[in-house]
Amino acid sequence: MTVIDHTTVTTTAATSAAASADATNNAPVRTLTEIVLPDAVRDAIGEQLAALPDPTTDIDLAMARYHQIFAGLPIGILQQMLDFGRHIDTAGVGYVRNLPVDRGLPDTPSDGGPSRDKASYVAEGVLLGLTGLLGEPVGFLTEKRGQLVHDVIPVAGGSMTQTNQGSTVFLNFHNDIVHDSIGRYDVSNPDFLVLSCLRADHEGVAATYYADARDISRALDAGTLETLRSPVFRLNAPGSYVREVAGGNDVLSDPVPVISGPDDSPEISVSANGVRAMTSGGQAALDRLQAACREVAHEVFLRPGQALLINNRKGLHARSQFTARYDGADRWLQRTYVRRNQWSIRYRVTPDNRRVHF
C-alpha cells in the first residue's frame, strides 16, 4: 500500500501500488500522480476565485470563468492535469496540493449540505475549476437531488451506511455508479470524480483509498481474474436510489463482468451498495478482489487545500472509519461527478437543466 499524507509518500513492500507494468512492454506505469501548485499560483488563483459569486446561480457562465482562471496554471501543471483526463496510459488518481481555500468556513452542515452560511466560494471554484480540466460537471436527480456540487459530510442517521454519509464503518472499495433503466449501471456513470477537502476530521485519521484496476489485476491469480472478467455479477443500484426510489428494495443490474477491456487498460465496476455474484466462484472472486484492493491501494489523508482527481473507470476508491461528533467541525469534502461527453447520456437529460439527468 502506498501511504500518502500532506508531506510524505511511502511505499510498503508491495510496490505494485506505486507502479503497474504495461502488459505489452513491461514499462512501469505510475497509477498515482502528484501535483503541487507554487505559492504564487495558489494566491493568484485564490484572489480571483474569492471575487466570484455562487457558481450555482449560473453554472455555464461560472465554468467559462473558471476555464479562464485555470488556464493561467503553469504550462507543465496544466498539461499534466489535461493529460490525466485524456489518455488511457496515465495514472488513475491525481493528488493535488497547495490549492487556495476560503478564508473562513461556517459550521459543517449537519444535514449533509449544502451550507447556507458560506460567505465565499473559493472551495467551489477550486472544485469546478479542476472539474473543467477533466470534462463537464453533471448531476443525477437520485444523487444529492441533482446538485452539481456534492457536500460529502457525515450524517448521524447514515453513520453505519455504505454511503457518503457514513463514518463508523469502512466504506468498501467501489466506484460511483448510477441506476439506469437500460439495465447497465456502468454506462452513464461519471468518468471522473473530484474530491476536495474543506475541513479534515477531528483526529485527522480519515483516509481515502484508491486501487487502480491495473494494480488489482496484477495482484490477482489467473483464475480469479478470469472469473471477474465473466458476466456473472449484478450490481445493486446506489443506496440513494434504493432508499428514495425503490422503497428499500434492491434493484440489480443485468449480468456484467466486474473487470473488462484490454489487459493493459482495464475498466472496473463495483457498486458500494453491493455486488451479487451469480455463482459461488463469483463470490469467492469478489472476496479476493476486496483483499487485493487493500493490498495495492494508495492511501491519502486529505487536508484543506488538497484534492483528489479520481478516474472512476480505471479504479476503485474507499474510505476508512473515523469518528464524527456532529458538532459543526466534522470532516467536510466537496465532490463533483465529471463526464467527458454528455452526448451519450442525452436520453436521460432533464427538461429543466441540461447538466442534470434522471
What are the pLDDT digits (tens) for 73-95?
A: 999 999 999 999 999 999 999 99
What are the pLDDT digits (tens) for 195-227?
A: 999 999 999 999 999 999 999 999 999 999 999
State how far the Cα of 205 lies from the Cα of 203, in Å rounded to an integer: 5
Strands 9-11 and 19-21 come out as unpaired
Mean pLDDT within 20-27: 48
**Could you tell me the three cell numbers for 65?**
470563468
Mean pLDDT within 186-196: 97
Domain positions in the chain: 2-357
Whether residue 95 contacts residue 3, with contact meaning beta carbons closer than 8 Å, is answered with no
Buried residues in 65-90 as b, exposed as e (16+ CB within 10 A) = bbeebbeebeeebeebbeebbeeeeb
With a cut of 60, say whether residue 6 has pLDDT above it: no
Confidence of residue 26 (pLDDT cuts 50, 70, 90): low
Query: How much is the pLDDT for 162?
Result: 78
State how far the Cα of 310 lies from the Cα of 226, in Å rounded to an integer: 26
With a cut of 70, say whether residue 12 has pLDDT above it: no
With a cut of 80, say whether residue 2 has pLDDT above it: no
**CATH fold for the domain made of 2-357:** Double-stranded beta-helix (3.60.130)
Mean pLDDT within 260-288: 97
pTM score of the predicted model: 0.92
With a cut of 60, say whether residue 305 has pLDDT above it: yes
* Residues in a beta bridge with 282: none
108: left (phi over 0), alpha (psi -120 to 50) or beta: beta
Q: Which of the two residues, 233 and 160, has the higher pLDDT score?
A: 233
Please check if 150 is assigned to a binding site. no
State how far the Cα of 46 lies from the Cα of 35, in Å rounded to an integer: 17
Q: What backbone phi and psi angles, to 5 degrees, belong to 307?
A: -145, 155
What are the pLDDT digits (tens) for 99-156?
A: 999 999 999 999 988 999 999 999 999 999 999 999 999 999 999 999 999 999 999 9
The answer to whether the peptide bond before residue 114 is cis (omega within 30 degrees of 0) is yes
Buried residues in 137-172 as b, exposed as e (16+ CB within 10 A) = bbbbbbbbebbbbbbbbbbeebbebbbbbbbeeebb
- Residue 347 CB coordination number (10 Å): 11
Query: How much is the pLDDT for 5?
Result: 58
Whether residue 296 contacts residue 219, with contact meaning beta carbons closer than 8 Å, is answered with yes
With a cut of 70, say whether residue 21 has pLDDT above it: no
Query: How much is the pLDDT for 160?
Result: 72
